[in-house]
Amino acid sequence: MMRLTTRRVLAAAGVWLAALAVAAPLTLSAQVADSGQAKEQAKDTVQASAPQPTASTTVPRYLADHAGALRLNAKQLDRVRKVAEHLDSANAPLHAQFQQVTGGRPLRGMDPAQRRSLAPQLQPITQQIRSNNEAALDSVDAILTAPQQQRLQSVLQEYRRRMQARRARQGQP
């Protein structure tokens, strides 16, 4: 029972990865392709567009809130909490800027032309969010032991595999 719960909870930690790296670009790609654009334009739009930042759980925040998932000791937990707090504070103004640019509307609710027009403004914001998240993951990796790192990676890979399977069942690319 505990292993199943741990797997589900760790899988939820990868939500931000899917949200930033997979979900929105694939959705945008499909919508651009549906609008009759050429494949080169679809690639440019996907690369220039940005996913909607969400209040989803980041890996450091998840680990700080669920120390038992990877059996973190007290020292590791304290360090992971500091990383999570730093990430939250670094991304908060970026999320506010994103909301200001989009007017609080989700990207998925906009038509492709609106997304393309906002992409140049959103791209630097999302690149900074990604950079912050990658730096936080590097910090977390430095805190975790090798077996903990392997466990986290395997759980994130399993999460990505399940998300790909879900998209395939729903007919998304």
Per residue in 2-33, pLDDT (tens digit) is 444 444 434 444 433 333 333 333 333 333 33
pLDDT of 56: 54
* pTM, rounded to two decimals: 0.62
pLDDT at position 155 is: 78
Q: Where are the domains of the chain?
A: 2-169
Give the residue with greater pLDDT, 113 vs 36.
Answer: 113
For position 48, what pLDDT does the model report? 36
> Contact 72/145 with Cβ under 8 angstroms?
no
Mean pLDDT of the chain: 73
